[in-house]
Copies of this chain bind each other. A is one copy, B any other.
Amino acid sequence: MTEQGTLFGVGVGPGDPKLMTIKAGEVIRDADVLAYPVNGSGESHARSIAAPIIEASASELPIHLPMKVEREPAQNAYDNAATGIRHHLDEGRDVAYLCVGDPLFYGSFMYIAARLGSTQPIEVVPGITSLSACAALTRTPLAGRNDILSVVPATLDETALAAALGRADTAAIIKVGRHFEKVRRLLHVLGMAGRAVVVENGTADGERITPLEDIHQDTQPYFSTILLRREEVK
């Protein structure tokens, strides 16, 4: 019987290839198969970040995942992805699954790992999150001393968003996209708009950092994160 391969969830960081870790580089170079999610246009953000260290001879396994909000198509896609990866692992090949940011912070890897973890060896190589990258770009302290930091998806409804934002010393609002107007309105109501900064495409092409109050209706930022701090650090 062939020894099982290992599935590595590898964080490739937020966009700048230099924000990959030494360990991520080693695992990517040593893996027998490189898997990564691709969107409907066949593009893979994760692969593009790791591209400088992917060798021409690498064996690649693109994983087609829908960006849909609906659960069922996603569940089917994860099932199919797990089946495809399991085939390589059963043949004794190590598979590195490339993840934008960190594999366990809002990504697809956790759903694939949930399908394979009971039968296959799995290792996770953590990555720099978009949160750390946005904080670094804007020099916004995420948390200090006894601060509570909350990470809140903009996809929540206004009541849930207001409850989560009301208590945090620092908050990061992620997945802003088409929810931008709702979030902006809410931050004005909560009196927090003046301390909010919007980061678009952090560490990637098209990077832009703008105070929330300087953004107008006709320049809505997509692929953005909003960082908020209640008080200045001293």
Contact = CB atoms under 8 A, between A and B. Distances in A.
Interface of A: 9, 11, 13-14, 16-23, 25-26, 75, 102-107, 110-111, 113-114, 117, 122, 124-129, 132-133, 135-137, 139-153, 155-156, 160, 163-164, 167-168, 232-234
Nearest to A78: B234
A12 to B, nearest CB: 11
Tally of this chain's copies = 2
Nearest to A133: B126
B22 A20 contact: yes
Nearest to A137: B124
Contacts of A124: 135-137, 139
B153 A150 contact: no
B234 A111 contact: yes
A20 B233 CA distance: 26
28 contacts: A11-B132, A18-B21, A19-B21, A20-B21, A21-B128, A22-B25, A75-B234, A102-B128, A102-B132, A102-B142, A104-B139, A105-B143, A106-B145, A106-B147, A110-B233, A111-B144, A113-B139, A122-B139, A124-B136, A125-B136, A126-B132, A146-B155, A148-B150, A148-B156, A148-B160, A150-B150, A150-B151, A150-B168
B21 A13 contact: yes
Contacts of A160: 148
A151 B129 CA distance: 15
Contacts of A104: 132, 135-136, 139-142
A177 to B, nearest CB: 13
A110 B135 CA distance: 11
Contacts of A146: 153, 155-156
Contact of A128 (B75, B110, B127, B139): B127
A149 B101 CA distance: 16
A233 B153 contact: no
Most interface-central of A110, A111, A126, A145 (chain B CB within 10 A): A126
B106 A143 contact: yes
Given A17-B22, A103-B136, A128-B128, 12 more contacts: A102-B142, A104-B132, A104-B140, A105-B135, A105-B149, A114-B234, A125-B136, A126-B136, A146-B155, A148-B152, A150-B151, A163-B167
